[in-house]
Homo-oligomer: A and B are copies of this chain.
Amino acid sequence: MEKRRDVFHAISDPTRRQIIGLISINPLTVNAIAERFKTNRSTVSEHVKILYECGLVWVEQRGRERYCNARLEKLSKVETWVTQYKKHWHASLDSLEHFLDKKVVSKKKAKKR
């Protein structure tokens, strides 16, 4: 396996999504984030590092404190990828066609049955 540090990976973890949710409201220090979750501080620190590495967080150093700022433009990569299928998922929601005889495969392979 090979480390993947992209946005899709970053948001796959629920704790990181929570962190994003928190700091999107207002910037927080690592400690402040940890307190809200009852998660170990160092764990939060690692999550923040990952979010930073993929560009979703920007860290502002203030003395010994580090404020984590959400910087969510990169989420547009996910949005772009997902919305390309929007048409598709509406189409399939639309109908029970999948379970009837109207789907592509049935048409193509009907002769086999």
Q: Which residues of A contact B (CB under 8 A)?
A: 4, 8-9, 11-12, 14, 17, 20, 24, 26-27, 58, 60, 62-63, 67, 69-76, 78-79, 81-83, 85-86, 88-90, 92-93, 95-96, 98-99, 103-105, 109, 112-113
Contact = CB atoms under 8 A, between A and B. Distances in A.
B72 A89 contact: yes
Given A8-B11, A8-B12, A12-B8, A72 B96 contact: no
Count of identical protomers in the assembly: 2
Contacts of A63: 112
Nearest to A78: B82
Contact of A89 (B60, B62, B73, B109): B73
